[in-house]
Amino acid sequence: KRRTVFPNNRRQWNNWKQASTFYSGNRIQTTKYTRFTFLPQFLFQQFHRLGNLYFLFLVVLNLFPQVEVFHREITMLPLIVVLLASMIKDATEDYRKYRFDKMINLSKTSVYDK
């Protein structure tokens, strides 16, 4: 038999549907990204860093033939390497958080009465 517990609540509720509008779920979520928001959020966070903006500026500057100092591929290489390394690190870290959250959310809990 399941029991619904409302801590620090002195009112009596007749049904769960009425009570559930006032309480959020008990689910834990520590991840930053979802499948659909990973790339836009990741790029947004990375280009808030001054170093990444500097290398992006160099890549854009080398697109113009009058200002081109290095080959375009050589200028893009440091930015791509840093972004790929950060992307792999963030993706694995977020996936580990997702798995841990899932394990915690599926675990059984006990409610103790005084």
Chain segment 19-70, per-residue pLDDT in tens: 666 666 677 889 999 999 999 999 999 999 999 999 999 888 888 888 777 7
Whole-prediction pTM: 0.68
Chain segment 73-105, per-residue pLDDT in tens: 888 898 999 999 999 999 999 999 999 988 887
Q: What is the DSSP string of 29-56?
A: ---S--TTTHHHHHHHHHTTSHHHHHHH
